[in-house]
Amino acid sequence: MYDRILVPTDGSDPANNAVDHAIDLARQHGAELHALSVVDARHVGVGAPAVTPEEVQAAIEERSETATARVRDRAAVEDVDVVTAVRNGSPSDEIRSYADEEDCDLVVMGTHGRTSVERYLLGSVTERVLRRGDTPVLAVRGDD
């Protein structure tokens, strides 16, 4: 049923919870796991006057590389094959594009516990991927 499962990660607790579910699904289905981290370039340098935008970009990219490496290491314990990638751009756009380009069968994403007002004002990456994408999405609550 699933040959390629995409799990976007930023290293947060909700993302890590989704990673656990994605690894389990990949193991059960013999699927290849794709770990993707997206550097949101729109926010590089915002609120960081003591450092250059390039330094902030480098730090965010390093955090993204670390997040995908952790997925690879955790999946290796379960004998799950992993492809890692880091992209720059809008997280929801890049996740949808990656899922399409790599022909992923499922996207497993963590959700943050936001109120309806926060969700209305801020939006949700998971919600945008779910509503605008063509690939099925499994949304995993961050507190599960």
| CATH number where 88 lies | 3.40.50.620
- Compute the average pLDDT of residues 85-102: 95
d(CA 39, CA 93): 12
33 lies in which domain range? 4-141
Binned at pLDDT 50, 70 and 90, residue 43 comes out as: low
pLDDT score of 119: 52
The count of domains in the chain is 1
pLDDT score of 115: 56
Three state DSSP letters for 80-114: CCEEEEEEECCHHHHHHHHHHHCCCCEEEEEECCC
The tens digit of pLDDT for each residue in 60-89 reads 888 899 999 999 999 999 999 999 999 999
